[in-house]
Amino acid sequence: MLFVLVAGVFAPVVWKYEQGLPDYSQLKNYEPPVMTRVHAADGSLLAEYSRERRLYLPSAEIPDLVKHAFISAEDRNFYSHWGFDPEGIVRAGIIFMQGSRRIQGASTITQQVAKNFLLNADRTFERKIREILLSIRIESAYSKEKILELYLNEIYLGLSNYGVAAAALNYFNKSVHELTIAEVAYLAALPKEPSSLNPFRDHDRAVERRNYVIGRMEEDGYITAKQANEARAEPLVVNPRVLTPNSIAAGFFAEEVRRELSERYGEQKLYEGGLSVRTTLDPKIQLMARKALVDGLVRYDEAYGWHGTLKTIDMSQDWGVPLADIPSYGDIKPWVLAVALDVGDTTMRVGIQPERDKTGAIVADRKTGSVTLDGVKWTGRRPKGLVKPGDIFYVEPVVDRDGEYRLRQIPEVSGASIAMDPFTGRVLAMVGGFSFDGSEFNRATQAQRQPGSSLKPFVYAAALDNGYTPTSTLLDSPIAIDDGSGHLWEPHNFEGKSSGPHPLRYAIEHSINLMTVRLARDIGMPLVVEYTKRFGIYDNLPPFLSMSIGAGETTVLRMITGYSMFANGGKRVKATLIDRIQDRWGNTIYKHDERVCEGCDAATWDNQPEPTLIDKREQVIDPLTAYQITSIMEGVIQRGTGIAIKEVGKHLAGKTGTTNDAKDLWFLGYSPNLAFGVFMGYDNPRSLGGSAQAALYTAPIFRDFMNMALKDTPDTPFRIPPGIKLISVDVHSGMRATGPGTSMEAFKPGTGPPDTYGGWGESARTSSRAQGERSLGSGTGGLY
């Protein structure tokens, strides 16, 4: 009778609050916001993008210890109740009736799932009743393990962490499987008051709550008394994971990947979709590329003297506080900010920018050091003539000299570099400037600059594909061209002089403008334009002859991609920073490698032929032409404008590029398996100096990079394609010859010089010159 009476009282209440309850079945297909994680090619984590830091773990992957800790802390009767805990509700009611100003929630884990997923956080009786009703329905539809899985992945655990997996990483730099009892207990303590249990700001309170959870785990039989005592004695040491691309100077690369993901999938999927991105970045190559570029920029910048200090602080107080408050670039280490404390004629004492601890407080220690005459030698001045006490500037520790520093300054000139696998287009390294923290503008992909003479190999490739040979004679002499408006364009060589007829090879090795312009005029600019499109250098180059010597604008990424096609035998490659993208379930939704594997899907081995990879990439140019250009650009390094690179002692090919007024300096080149391109220039283009040229500034950057990258690799010659015939020729005349002053030249079938010339001496030279002049007269435009 009592049961009927109670049912009669509560039935209308239940009926009322059941109206309009959310559909709990949506939990079945719930996909919470999950971090997108970006990895380098070696698997190391490069960057994470999220609105909520969460990694989703299935229940089977969550250790029992973690589950037990949260059950003890939040819902000890979880496995026995049917959605709500009457005992907890009675206890909360008694506390409320006793006049407590704080309402105790008495929520089970299931109720928290109902609230977090389907309701709001209003602290009202109405919401509580709806929460209980939903919890009963959830319990009837889902297993305890599924409910616990939802809870442990959704719960907020402070410091922007959602779910146990992200919290374990970002509090302790561990996976959930590596956590100790004390660490698990701390995480389980957080759901009640995550903002009040900050391990740095509220350390004692955090330890107290953690120890409470340890006691509950012992009481519930999940751990022994000995384990509990040992866990309570364990100090609460939080080791937040610091994840930044700055650790490998990859800020530009990571941002380029982020932009591509955003354009490809949209912001929501980027920040909530849980994508797993495997990039092409090689961390070792990245560090080498940055070091080579930065050293080159600093060499140039320091040659032009001291710019001055960054700012000045008041030295009448503790210098550490204002110095610590000055923002510094985090990706230019080991450079650090310093303040001049005492300045003498031969040395100065400096204070080093203090670090901050995990709470953000400035550390008490004040580290000092000295800068000697040797550390300022590059300025050409003495310390007293450079700074005064209170001045702020950058310094770099001197290797093997404790406490001694070298004066540094942020270069005004900038640049970019890219390393690429020439056979796949995979970008192994990308440096978009001196410092990503200083400027996010990526000069490797966003800066449109004139390539100058580094464009010439594409002009000569067009010629070699259309009747010319490496020994075809070109004339190095002044030329005046009507630009169509009645004005004459008179190009000049860099040295301002000309030297008569030379073989085609000579024109590239010594970067002769006049020979290149004559050649472009002869084969016709429409053909040159078409070749620059083939290689992806330009989308639509105006067919003006000035464009043949690099007057158009392009990017480092486009240029090094084009050079990679010379290196790989003329196959088209697409530059990529991403190898593969997987969704949150591990399904591959993008991969860069488009080759088709025939026979890779066989169910079993039955003596069938081995699988075959089918490469369907377009052949951009004749592989024989690609090798001829490579062979000629080897000469650039052996005896031409890139001779500074010769000391590397490996087979390398490449080309310098210097524009008018030296506003842009380039070097692009490759080994048989690695391509590298570098650009230097001011962001607001202006001359780098009357004597500036790529041979002096960008070629050494290429040299330094290849010295590092190829240090432990054997020297490998470039691959010679079938059909190429190597003939020893005179470097000046292009005629067959042996001995000093000769080189091995690559010829296509039937294009080599004749075996005999019908005599030697003057008649031979005359024959060679006549042959060259006949070649000049062929083609679309003519040269005379």
Spatial contact of 747 and 720, defined as CB atoms under 8 Å apart: no
Spatial contact of 159 and 170, defined as CB atoms under 8 Å apart: yes
- The count of other CB atoms within 10 Å of the CB of residue 546 is 18
Q: Out of 72, 74, 745, 768, pick the active-site residue.
A: 74
Query: Which secondary structure element, helix H or strand E, spans residue 396, and what is its range?
Result: strand 391-397
Phi-psi sector, 194: left (phi>0), alpha (psi -120 to 50), beta: alpha
Task: Give the bridge partners for 418, in sequence order.
Answer: 430, 677
- Dihedral angle of Cα 274, 30, 123, 81, to the nearest 10 degrees: -120
Beta strands in 89-247 (DSSP E): 161-162
Tracing tokens 């009837």 back to the chain, one arrives at 140
DSSP conformation class of 753:
P
Q: Is 25 tagged catalytic?
A: no
Beta strands in 33-188 (DSSP E): 36-39, 45-49, 53-54, 161-162
Q: How far is CA 13 from CA 136, 458, 477, 629, in A?
A: 15, 82, 101, 86
Which candidate, 514, 511, 525, 565, places its Cα nearest to that of 677?
565
- The count of other CB atoms within 10 Å of the CB of residue 237 is 10
Exposed (0-12), middle (13-18) or buried (19+): which is 202, by Cβ within 10 Å? middle
Task: Give the bridge partners for 747, in sequence order.
Answer: 725
Say if strands 391-397 and 311-312 run parallel, antiparallel, or are unpaired. Answer: antiparallel
Spatial contact of 348 and 371, defined as CB atoms under 8 Å apart: yes
Task: Kindly state the tokens that stand for 95.
Answer: 């506390």
Q: Is 74 tagged catalytic?
A: yes
DSSP conformation class of 728:
E
DSSP conformation class of 179:
-
Q: Out of 50, 135, 370, 453, pick the active-site residue.
A: 453
Spatial contact of 351 and 366, defined as CB atoms under 8 Å apart: yes
In this structure, which long-range contacts are made by residues 5-12, counting pairs with CB atoms below 8 Å and at least 24 apart in sequence?
Answer: none
Tracing tokens 């919290």 back to the chain, one arrives at 167
Task: Kindly state the tokens that stand for 120.
Answer: 């709001």
Query: Which secondary structure element, helix H or strand E, spans residue 667, and what is its range?
Result: strand 665-670
Which candidate, 430, 494, 447, places its Cα nearest to that of 682?
447
- Dihedral angle of Cα 217, 221, 222, 224, to the nearest 10 degrees: 90
Spatial contact of 661 and 489, defined as CB atoms under 8 Å apart: no
Q: How far is CA 349 from CA 314, 353, 384, in A?
A: 16, 13, 12
Q: Which amino acid is at 387?
A: V
Spatial separation of the C-alpha atoms in residues 48 and 39, rounded to whole Å: 9
What are the counts of helices (DSSP H) followed by strands (DSSP E) for the chain? 23, 26
Spatial contact of 493 and 514, defined as CB atoms under 8 Å apart: yes
Angle ∠(603,609,613) on CA atoms, nearest 5? 85
Helix (H, G, I), strand (E, B) or coil at 566: helix
The dihedral through the CA atoms of 626, 629, 633, 639 has a sign that is positive
Spatial separation of the C-alpha atoms in residues 329 and 229, rounded to whole Å: 45
DSSP conformation class of 434:
S
Tell me the catalytic residues.
Answer: 74, 453
